[in-house]
Structure 1
Amino acid sequence: MKPRSLIRRLAGPLAIGLTAAVLLAGCGGDATGNEDAVGDDGKVDLSQVTLIVGDQKGGSQALLQAAGLLDDAPYKIEWKEFTSGPPLLEAMSSGSIHVGGVGNTPPLFAAAAGGEFKVVQAATYGGAGDAIVVPKDSPLKSVADLEGKDVAVAEGSSANYNLLAQLQEAGLSYGDVTVKNLQPADALAAFSGGHVDAWAIWEPFTSQAEIDADARVLADGSKLANGYTFQVASDAALDDPATAAALEDYLARIAQAQLWSQTHKQEWAKAWSEETGLAEDITLSAVDNRQVQVVPIDDTVVESEQQMADAFTENELIPDEVDVSSYFSDEFNEDTTGKAVSQGADR
């Protein structure tokens, strides 16, 4: 049986959002809301800018606060929280947010749905935190044993690609398992209740499953997943001078905070624990599983993401081939890998 196209299941809200964006453009509207921050001389007053940021629990806001990089921001930040990357990008398509942090997979599905955005900052956390877990006493010993089993995963998330890659490596297709499309909280409940045989997830949920749900890792993505995490900005935000000026500063702060987290693991684990309500041993385990490197948006990143997109297309999870290169921008590389590295070293 061929798997039903993921993009058809995920594109509905995206299509609605894109339609709304088109209608706004047709009416001459500008969804950034920062037009008044640009003076008659063309200069931007950042104190008049509000940057609307999509976030996930224990994500960018918590990291920036822990690193001490929010206090002196010269613009206002309005935070909006999402359960994972796909709904965050749906909100971006509808014009509700300017920028947000996602994993390596959500931009591929958003690109296939015709989203209007660019990936503008990148880091890799390694693939070890992306894992497929099973109950500790499960008879399943390898990925090949998943054939015919129920697997929970948030479709369109980074864990979705890891699951696909692991199945392919084991000689299975995506259709050889029964996928249960569940966001992390629901997936944890299903896993703990014995309603699924396995769960494909990312940190800190991998460590939470191991420590709180007595899970063991069946396979991790250390050899198959690129571990990229991205900041994604809407085209409307990038085209607006005031919002783009705030983005330049914000992305540099994100990169600095990511570097800080690698050299201040205990501090970050404590802050992450306080933000999420997870026990500190869980967040410390998650931090230890992630080896952070800030990387430029370059051919290496784009080619890796293109390979992922092609794999989804080959498995009919994305219905048509998509060229992802036009959805990546190196405009902020100097701010995120040059200035950020030098400034981050001083913190």
Structure 2
Amino acid sequence: MTKKKLALFTALLSTLTLLGCNKQEAAKNADSSQASPAKSEVVLKIGDQKGNMRAQLEASGALKGVDYKINWYEFPAAAPVAEALKVEGIDIGYLGDAPFLFANANGGTAKAIAVYKTDPYPTAILVPENSPIKSAKDLKGKSLTMNKGSISHLLTLKVLEQQGLKPEDVTFKFLPPADGKLAVENGSVDAWVVWDPYTAYAELKDHYRIVANGRGLYSGYIFLAGTQKALDDQQKRVAIQDFIYRLKASQIWTNEHAEEFGKEYAKIVGLPEDVGILAFKRRNSSWDPIDADVIKTSQETADFYTKYQLINKHFDVSNSFDQGFKVTK
């Protein structure tokens, strides 16, 4: 990687990195938005990952006319979102299914209330252009870096199983995306397991190759999850339902204006324009209600984690969902 590219990538990682908040930090660091503050005293504390819900809602104009206040909190990945939900630092948050289930199996009590279905392709195992690893078959004896309990961890275990390999056949290095990429760059790790926009950046700017992707192995689910306290508050529950309607409207708008929003997404996250467009357009996303199929797939994910002892014992996911929310009126 050239010095110029490394500087650009470091800037991207700095933009994407914001530490998770506990209750006191959340109160200090919130960013607020509201259309009609005089109408209601309801405040929703919403945890997002940069360039996702808030960006789509604001670009589409779907937040116009809200009669409750929104305090936004941005996080770099799912794990701090899960932690913020656990300590009730936020009311609702955006996080992948695997880390959500991993968190709930380890003491979390949040409930998924809507699902953002995306193409799992960009969750991938990547290697540098000149790597001797040509396919997933070549991973035996190699080292891979990822976040523990993340969708990247799930994908890695799925790929190894598909190739007839065991976790012991590779070396796991649990690092956040920034450190993981640098570890691959300096040669201390062989492969990087990550998601978009990191994947798109690595492909387009660093000429990394995808040797395995999430299609057929990972659901592509991202959940909107809420704390039990927020869901039990009837005023907040009404506001949360309204917020989900607006999320669906924003998703429809951004899908219809994918090129336009891809450029805006690039600006928001601090990406080159071509990276932002690729990362957004290949999501092929849709906000949908929680249904029996979503719960069934989630149980399979939890059981897979139990099989590999990431979850210590059987975890019944049924109590991790609230099916009382719709995505369209």
Specify if TM > 0.5.
yes
Partner of 2:19: none
State whether structure 2 residue 87 is matched by structure 1 residue 94.
Answer: yes
The answer on 1:116 being equivalent to 2:128 is: no
Equivalent residue letter for 1:197 = D
Q: Does 1:215 align with 2:227?
A: no
Secondary structure in structure 2 of the residue aligned to 1:92: helix
For 1:264, which of 239, 257, 260 is the aligned residue? 257
Match of 2:65 among 44, 53, 72: 72
Tell whether 2:284 aligns with 1:291.
yes
The answer to whether residue 52 in structure 2 is matched with residue 63 in structure 1 is no
SS at structure 2 position matched to 1:274: helix
Q: 1:261 to 1:191 in 2, by over 3 A?
A: farther
Cα distance change, pair 46–208 in 1 and its aligned pair in 2 (3 A):
farther
**TM-score, normalising length: structure 2:** 0.85
2:156 pairs with 1:167: no
Q: Which amino acid aligns with 1:216?
A: R
| Counterpart AA for 2:264 | A
- Displacement of 1:136 in angstroms is 1.1
Equivalent position amino acid for 1:150 in 2: S
When residues 189 and 63 of structure 1 are mapped into structure 2, their CA distance, relative to the original with a 3 A threshold, is farther
What secondary structure is seen at the aligned counterpart in 2 of 1:144?
A: helix
Show the counterpart of 2:243. 250
For residues 154 and 50 of structure 2, what CA distance do their matches in structure 1 show? 21
Match of 1:186 among 179, 182, 185: 179
Return the letter of the residue paired with 1:222.
Answer: R
Give the conservation status (yes or no) of the 8 Å contact 2:259–2:281.
Answer: no
Q: CA RMSD in A?
A: 1.8
Question: What amino acid sits opposite 2:266 in the alignment?
Answer: S
> Share of identical aligned residues, percent?
38
Structure 2 residue aligned with 1:281, among 259, 274, 279?
Answer: 274
The residue matched to 1:203 in structure 2 has which SS?
Answer: coil
Q: CA deviation at 1:294?
A: 2.8
Q: Distance in 2 between matches of 1:243 and 1:174?
A: 44
Question: Helix, strand or coil for the counterpart of 1:47?
Answer: coil
Question: After TM superposition, where is structure 1 displaced by more than 6 Å over at least 4 residues in a row?
Answer: none
Distance in 2, matches of 1:168 and 1:223, equals 13
8 Å CA contact retained: 1:126, 1:225 = no
**Whole-Å Cα distance in 2 between the matches of residues 154 and 46 of structure 1?**
42
Which residue pairs with 1:147 in the alignment? 140
Aligned equivalents of 1:279 and 1:317: distance in 2?
36
Show the counterpart of 1:342: none
In 1, the alpha carbon distance for the partners of 2:193 and 2:78 equals 15
The normalised TM-score by structure 1 is 0.81
Which ranges of structure 2 fall in alignment gaps of 5 or more residues?
1-21, 24-37
Q: Secondary structure at the match of 2:107?
A: coil
The alpha-carbon deviation at position 103 of structure 1 amounts to: 1.1
Instruction: Note if contact 1:190-1:196 (Cα within 8 Å) is conserved in structure 2.
Output: yes
C-alpha distance in 1, partners of 2:171/2:185? 18
Q: Distance in 1 between matches of 2:182 and 2:71?
A: 31
Q: What is the aligned counterpart of 1:309 among 298, 302, 316?
A: 302
Distance (Å, rounded) in 1 between the aligned partners of 2:141 and 2:323: 43
Length, aligned pairs only: 295
Equivalence for 1:199: 192
**In 2, Cα distance between equivalents of 1:195 and 1:66:** 41
Contact 1:313–1:319 under 8 Å retained in 2: yes
Q: How far apart are the structure 2 equivalents of 1:310 and 1:295?
A: 23
Give the Cα separation in 1 of the matches to 2:199 and 2:321. Answer: 29
Alpha-carbon shift at residue 199 of structure 1 (Å) = 0.9
Q: Which whole-Å CA distance do the structure 1 matches of 2:322 and 2:302 have between them?
A: 17
Check conservation: 2:113, 2:289, Cα contact below 8 A. no
The CA distance in 2 between the partners of 1:162 and 1:259, in whole Å, is 28
Maintained 8 Å contact 1:46/1:246: no
